[in-house]
Structure 1
């Protein structure tokens, strides 16, 4: 085989005349170039570590400190602040007479310069951390900035430097504070008040008071001790207990998806779309490795992670810069090298390799086609099968290739997208395909799987434990924009560039799958298909208006949508429910998410008033309340992560809390999340209005609830993703989608009824961007 031949650097045979050594200079040249590339990356990483280590100063600033000390020396002053004199005093007399004073001065100057420089760096970093701990700017009214905030902005700009690297701010971010138990309980009781009767509320208040007076303070002391020791008192427990210790399927229950452009498919050639998409993802990874991405208002995290399984719990494994991707096509697995001799293959070369896979006529091996179902079913059987049958031999080698690949690529044999006789139904099927596919043609354990459909449409399925949606959304935005606007296609729909004809073909993975493994594959597939068939997905673009019209009313778009969801749910179910909205806590080191309990007394009062008459004032109160809840969650004053950690501590101590047990078992019947648009500069919607993103979505959290994801695109569109379960007779995703659209229209009608007066009203607080 060609790839086997290229992998051999030399051959030798023993003859009567001696050893006949045959070198493959092409292979040796590739080894040399790969080594050069590896060392260049090491040097680049070392350079970045140095730059980050001295941030917010720069390595060259040491010279300025040295020049300043030399200037003081020439001014007949002692730059060592008495250090030289002390060294001379402690030297024996015989050495004092022969000791080179100039050498002492030079050494002392170097020591003083370095110590002073390090002291200045620590002082600057401490000041930057203090500045980043200031969050009052978030609570100020739009257009009414206090003098304190103005001074804060000026100082932050001065200390931040002009060109920070991607992770420059990490060590300067403050730690997530632990709220007081009483404050968290007060906010919790306020959040559940509209959901409980007077008798139920009194009972819950008594439970909360009993918890505070007895067990609460004891658990809080342990939690504060952890906060002093750990970088973030929530994130490690959240990752372990919420994501990695779950034994149910991660497909649908945890993984989420991202979709392609709504109206446009840049090319209908499947291999070409795969070539550009893979290239764009690798270019993004290169920028992450070099830390060339500009730090956003929410610090980024590396997306290079893979999931490996153990029996008791899953674990995250981070691999270093893999040079290949894993590809699935028509039941077969391949390793596709994307680097050759240290060079990233061109998009046209990757397309050529993908086309070779598509044209490969070889059939799947026994048990290979549906092997991926093991990652879609329950975790315990997969862990057991992995340990018994994938820990050695050919199966281990092939599994290692999949898990150590940069990411996973599925060449789907179906066509998806909105176009066709049934655009609404096509979008729904498109979403379901990305969420679970055929339950065996994705590798759900991978950090993310890219799906390229037969007609050129694309999408991704992401595993949740390693990163939240904003991180993946940032990656996917860059990929779509680079694919469509930077890399581009030829007139006949192929990738641009040339192909090196000596490229070895992709490597087909081998498997030895015995009957007992095939039986487990069938069992896992049965579990996964039952789960997938139960999911009811509905995707719809809302085009009546967008954030442009909402902002003209001096209302936060997110608050407007969240209150609309409350109205829609009340109309759909005739009651209110516990509502989950994800908020980021990336203002803090290693921060991930916090819950915004969007169902409040104010939002319920507005919904009830809307059903009975005029209620503009109540909407303003509900909107302001929602924005305040969101800000408190972002600034570390949320409810649910604190209660979750108190519950974990109670389990470690072996004590039971009726209050915590009841709180942590409450179902989120309405789970919502906004997909942020973070890089609008990559998309020219004015000249290319059709290149709008559909965003992404997730499965329902509760069996009798709804999952709602939305993305605010441009000024005039909001795309919604609604999910529920067919097995619940009280939920219907299409019906709820219609309720959402009507709620948006009705609230807009109420707020627009008296436009002049509303525009003259008091300015409402708005979300501001971090500077």
Structure 2
């Protein structure tokens, strides 16, 4: 085998004259170059550690302090107020250290101590400034004096911070007062309960607060003092890793390609550029060259801890809990094509292969005629089914020998690549149906042609379309969206393609062939049961993707309304029309203003939003409906701010529940709260790197965003991305098994609700009604 031959660095034979040593200088040169690359990375990490350690100052500022101290001493002044003289007393004069040298050393020691003190002071001030969040609640044009002083943060943010420069300065997530959390919880469920039901829930909450609640709160505060984040480790373990059900559909989510554009129709070329762009992003993460993500429109940094496990990470199954395994680096990716697994080396002698070379290697895989080995083709279904069977199978058949080596190659890979033999995308005779099939393909595929345990898997389709499937436990969607934005933009605008659709660059045709992974899978390890579970789950998912082109955030912002609040209230109206009532609604909000923060729930179904929907559907006057809408939008914005600043409801109650389980006590209140179904689960996919996408000059390069499966069996999952000024893309999911839900029907309701609310808020665009019914009343009747 060519790859085995290339791996041999030297050979020797025993001769009568002694040992005949035959060195392969090419192989030794590659070993040397690979070692140089490794040392470069170590030096880079050490340099970054120094830069981060002194941030918000810079290493060069030490020299400035030293020069300033020496200059004042030269002017016969003592800036140390006697401290330099005291340091001199502890330095003895010798042949190597003269009196003048003693003075210089003392001045250097004092300057270094002063410099370190200044760094600690600056970092303390930066942490105080980052802990202030009242700026989010200031009214436009009415900024308090405290917030004006807080704007000094710009002076301490530094010119060129590294990716992790702010990590040690970010505040810890605070534990809300238990009374505040319970009050906000009762307010959130008031529109969903009848009078007697609300009184019963209020009684349970009061009983919990007066008895068990304060005891659990004390333990939680103790953890908050000790841990970096009192939520994130328990959230990762109990919500994600301890789940024993399939992670496919239930947990993993997907990201799509451009809506209108496919940069090339050559599958191998698209794979070459996509893999290269991802590896360039990994290089930026390793070198910490990425700019820290910030709150849009501000200098406020967000926690970057989730980037640490983006690559070279796998979720491995266990009987009781899964484990996230992360390796420092990996020089290969794992590739799946027509039932076969390959290891594709993307570095050679320390050099990242160019896109054309990766395309060349991918084409070799596509042209490989060898059939799958027995049991190999559907092996990926083990990662799609229940976790316990996969854990038991792994221990029994994949813990040693050739199976372990091949499994290690997949799990240690930078990421997973599927070369799909299908064509996907919007174009064709049925563009709407094609988008739906595209979403289902990325969400679950054939249930065995993805490796759902990897941190993320890339799918390259036969017609050049691509997409992504991400595992959820290691990070949330905004982190993956940031990666995917960079990948799409780098692929299309920086790497580019030749006129015939191939990657740019030259090919070293002496590259060793991609390595087939070998398996020895006994017949009793058939994955039939896991595949059956996964197939039943996949077949039950009803996906609907549609671009809403009537208007976008441009029209909404002209009305001085938050686009997110506008969409969320529209979803409440759509659900009310679809199901005839309201439900507990989940909107994901981030808590990355805090160190190691992840998400918090915004309970979008509020008293105010329900009042607006009832008034609109009940035929109230337009002025009254507009007033109620404004109140609902303001309420939603306030709920979102509370969630972002650590004053949410659900993570606090979740952690109290975990503490109660550790103490072995039961709380009827917490048990009921955590069992409530989220029948409407929503999330916005943010666009974070607008500098990479010039939508004005390239309007066709519009992202479709991504989506996820439904959280409740009788509910909807809705993901949306606000693209540019004039479009919003929606992803709706539900289950066929529930007769009360229909993703396409709900999509129609969403579109109509958006248009009806805009018409309500812009009365000059609609015809005056001759009766007291609002415009939405007439529109909803037309739908029926």
Q: TM-score, normalised by structure 1?
A: 0.95
| Distance (Å, rounded) in 2 between the aligned partners of 1:290 and 1:85 | 42
- Whether 2:546 is the aligned partner of 1:546: answer no
Which of 547, 569, 572 pairs up with 2:575?
A: 569
- Residue 289 of structure 2 is matched in structure 1 by 292
- Residue 762 of structure 1 is matched in structure 2 by none
Please give the per-residue CA displacement for 1:581-620, whole angstroms capped at 9, x wherever unaligned. 0001111111010000000000000000011232000000
Secondary structure (helix, strand or coil) at the match of 2:148 reads: helix
Which of 523, 527, 530 pairs up with 1:524?
A: 530
Alignment of 1:76-115 (within 5 A): 76-78=76-78, 81-83=81-83, 86=86, 100-115=98-113
The answer (yes or no) to whether the contact 1:84–1:104 under 8 Å persists in 2 is no
| Distance (Å, rounded) in 1 between the aligned partners of 2:80 and 2:107 | 6
Gaps of 5+ in 2: 295-301, 767-784
1:96 and 1:370, CA in 2 relative to 1: closer, same or farther beyond 3 A?
closer
- Whether 2:515 is the aligned partner of 1:507: answer yes
- Whether 2:252 is the aligned partner of 1:242: answer no
Secondary structure (helix, strand or coil) at the match of 1:354 reads: helix
Quote the offset at 1:686 in angstroms.
1.3
Which of 638, 656, 664 pairs up with 1:654?
A: 664
1:97 and 1:398, CA in 2 relative to 1: closer, same or farther beyond 3 A?
closer
| Distance (Å, rounded) in 1 between the aligned partners of 2:91 and 2:511 | 69
Which of 138, 149, 152 pairs up with 2:150?
A: 152
Secondary structure (helix, strand or coil) at the match of 1:496 reads: coil
Quote the offset at 1:83 in angstroms.
4.4
The answer (yes or no) to whether the contact 2:256–2:704 under 8 Å persists in 1 is yes
Which of 278, 283, 301 pairs up with 1:281?
A: 278
Alignment of 1:389-408 (within 5 A): 389-408=397-416
- Residue 170 of structure 1 is matched in structure 2 by 167
Please give the per-residue CA displacement for 1:346-405, whole angstroms capped at 9, x wherever unaligned. 100000000000000000000000000000000011111111111111011000000000
- Residue 771 of structure 2 is matched in structure 1 by none
Please give the per-residue CA displacement for 1:163-194, whole angstroms capped at 9, x wherever unaligned. 11111111111111100000000000000000
- Residue 362 of structure 1 is matched in structure 2 by 370
Please give the per-residue CA displacement for 1:59-91, whole angstroms capped at 9, x wherever unaligned. 111112212222332233445544465567789
| Distance (Å, rounded) in 2 between the aligned partners of 1:592 and 1:350 | 35
- Residue 4 of structure 1 is matched in structure 2 by 4
- Residue 642 of structure 2 is matched in structure 1 by 632
| Distance (Å, rounded) in 1 between the aligned partners of 2:84 and 2:639 | 59
- Whether 2:193 is the aligned partner of 1:196: answer yes
| Distance (Å, rounded) in 1 between the aligned partners of 2:76 and 2:497 | 69
- Whether 2:463 is the aligned partner of 1:465: answer no
Quote the offset at 1:119 in angstroms.
0.8
Alignment of 1:198-237 (within 5 A): 198-237=195-234
Which of 707, 714, 720 pairs up with 1:704?
A: 714
- Residue 422 of structure 1 is matched in structure 2 by 430
Which of 555, 562, 566 pairs up with 2:561?
A: 555
1:709 and 1:105, CA in 2 relative to 1: closer, same or farther beyond 3 A?
same
- Residue 54 of structure 2 is matched in structure 1 by 54
| Distance (Å, rounded) in 1 between the aligned partners of 2:726 and 2:690 | 14
The answer (yes or no) to whether the contact 2:88–2:103 under 8 Å persists in 1 is no
Q: Say which is worse superposed, 607-616 or 273-282, in terms of deviation.
A: 607-616
- Whether 2:601 is the aligned partner of 1:591: answer no
- Residue 328 of structure 1 is matched in structure 2 by 336
- Residue 68 of structure 1 is matched in structure 2 by 68
Quote the offset at 1:295 in angstroms.
1.0
- Residue 782 of structure 2 is matched in structure 1 by none
Q: Say which is worse superposed, 303-312 or 324-333, in terms of deviation.
A: 303-312
| Distance (Å, rounded) in 2 between the aligned partners of 1:547 and 1:87 | 64
User: Which of structure 1's runs of 4+ aligned residues deviate more than 6 A?
Assistant: 87-92, 95-99
The answer (yes or no) to whether the contact 2:575–2:746 under 8 Å persists in 1 is yes
| Distance (Å, rounded) in 2 between the aligned partners of 1:150 and 1:88 | 45
Quote the offset at 1:111 in angstroms.
2.3
Which of 665, 669, 673 pairs up with 2:675?
A: 665
Please give the per-residue CA displacement for 1:437-478, whole angstroms capped at 9, x wherever unaligned. 000000000000000001110000000011100000000001
Secondary structure (helix, strand or coil) at the match of 2:545 reads: strand
- Residue 27 of structure 1 is matched in structure 2 by 27
1:667 and 1:13, CA in 2 relative to 1: closer, same or farther beyond 3 A?
same
Which of 738, 750, 755 pairs up with 1:740?
A: 750
Secondary structure (helix, strand or coil) at the match of 1:595 reads: strand
**Root-mean-square deviation over aligned CA pairs:** 1.7
- Residue 631 of structure 2 is matched in structure 1 by 621
Secondary structure (helix, strand or coil) at the match of 2:328 reads: coil
1:47 and 1:85, CA in 2 relative to 1: closer, same or farther beyond 3 A?
closer
| Distance (Å, rounded) in 1 between the aligned partners of 2:357 and 2:450 | 24
Quote the offset at 1:15 in angstroms.
1.2
- Residue 453 of structure 1 is matched in structure 2 by 461
| Distance (Å, rounded) in 2 between the aligned partners of 1:403 and 1:98 | 57
| Distance (Å, rounded) in 1 between the aligned partners of 2:762 and 2:81 | 71
The answer (yes or no) to whether the contact 2:702–2:723 under 8 Å persists in 1 is yes
The answer (yes or no) to whether the contact 1:309–1:315 under 8 Å persists in 2 is yes
The answer (yes or no) to whether the contact 1:80–1:108 under 8 Å persists in 2 is no
The answer (yes or no) to whether the contact 2:334–2:410 under 8 Å persists in 1 is yes
1:133 and 1:98, CA in 2 relative to 1: closer, same or farther beyond 3 A?
closer
The answer (yes or no) to whether the contact 2:303–2:597 under 8 Å persists in 1 is no
Quote the offset at 1:491 in angstroms.
1.0
Please give the per-residue CA displacement for 1:701-735, whole angstroms capped at 9, x wherever unaligned. 00000000000001110000000000111111011
- Residue 679 of structure 1 is matched in structure 2 by 689
The answer (yes or no) to whether the contact 1:260–1:457 under 8 Å persists in 2 is yes
| Distance (Å, rounded) in 2 between the aligned partners of 1:480 and 1:272 | 14
Quote the offset at 1:133 in angstroms.
1.1
| Distance (Å, rounded) in 2 between the aligned partners of 1:24 and 1:97 | 54
Which of 107, 116, 119 pairs up with 1:118?
A: 116
| Distance (Å, rounded) in 2 between the aligned partners of 1:142 and 1:473 | 30
| Distance (Å, rounded) in 2 between the aligned partners of 1:313 and 1:555 | 44
Quote the offset at 1:685 in angstroms.
1.2
The answer (yes or no) to whether the contact 1:79–1:109 under 8 Å persists in 2 is no
| Distance (Å, rounded) in 1 between the aligned partners of 2:95 and 2:538 | 87
- Whether 2:316 is the aligned partner of 1:316: answer no
- Residue 14 of structure 1 is matched in structure 2 by 14
Gaps of 5+ in 1: 757-771
Q: TM-score, normalised by structure 2?
A: 0.94
- Residue 723 of structure 1 is matched in structure 2 by 733
| Distance (Å, rounded) in 2 between the aligned partners of 1:455 and 1:317 | 34
| Distance (Å, rounded) in 1 between the aligned partners of 2:74 and 2:503 | 65
| Distance (Å, rounded) in 1 between the aligned partners of 2:764 and 2:590 | 35
Alignment of 1:333-352 (within 5 A): 333-352=341-360
1:69 and 1:444, CA in 2 relative to 1: closer, same or farther beyond 3 A?
same
Q: Say which is worse superposed, 746-755 or 190-199, in terms of deviation.
A: 746-755
The answer (yes or no) to whether the contact 1:70–1:79 under 8 Å persists in 2 is no
Q: Say which is worse superposed, 599-608 or 685-694, in terms of deviation.
A: 685-694
Secondary structure (helix, strand or coil) at the match of 2:316 reads: strand
The answer (yes or no) to whether the contact 1:306–1:319 under 8 Å persists in 2 is no
| Distance (Å, rounded) in 2 between the aligned partners of 1:143 and 1:377 | 55
Q: Say which is worse superposed, 552-561 or 315-324, in terms of deviation.
A: 315-324
